[in-house]
């Protein structure tokens, strides 16, 4: 019986790469469990050094992509928080030197007939 664990793992890592690039992060949880099972299985079978290097390269690429995605999401959260703060009101100093919120007035839209 032929063991296709290595090919399955490489295919799974390619699928993981595509999911990260596409932003389909919900899929990653399922893939992580399958990836763990395959990696555990590979510990018990003889594997060539070149194959291990390929797996290591694919794992490093996916780790790098995930780190970049996390960094991008964090940056987006910071920008959204800044926009929310401006929408809620401007923070300024009052006459006593304390922070105060200056409300931002939004002009009402008026329909003209």
pLDDT tens series, the chain, 113 aa? 357 889 999 999 999 999 999 999 999 999 999 999 999 998 888 888 898 899 999 999 999 999 999 999 999 999 999 888 777 777 788 888 888 877 777 667 677 76
Q: Where are the domains of the chain?
A: 5-102
pTM: 0.71
pLDDT for 89: 74
Kindly list the distances between the CA atom of residue 43 and the CA atoms of 27, 36, 50, 100, 110, in Å, as whole numbers in the listed order. 25, 11, 15, 61, 70
């Amino acid at each position: 019986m032929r063991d296709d664990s290595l090919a399955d793992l490489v295919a799974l890592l390619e699928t993981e790469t595509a999911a990260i690039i596409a932003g389909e992060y919900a899929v990653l949880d399922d893939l992580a469990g399958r990836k763990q099972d395959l990696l555990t299985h590979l510990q018990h079978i003889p594997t060539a050094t070149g194959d291990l290097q390929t797996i290591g390269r694919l794992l490093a690429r996916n780790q790098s992509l995930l780190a970049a995605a996390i960094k991008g999401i964090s940056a987006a959260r910071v920008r959204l928080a800044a926009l929310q703060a401006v929408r809620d009101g401007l923070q300024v100093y009052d006459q006593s030197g304390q922070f105060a919120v200056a409300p931002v007035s939004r002009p009402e839209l008026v329909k003209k007939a």
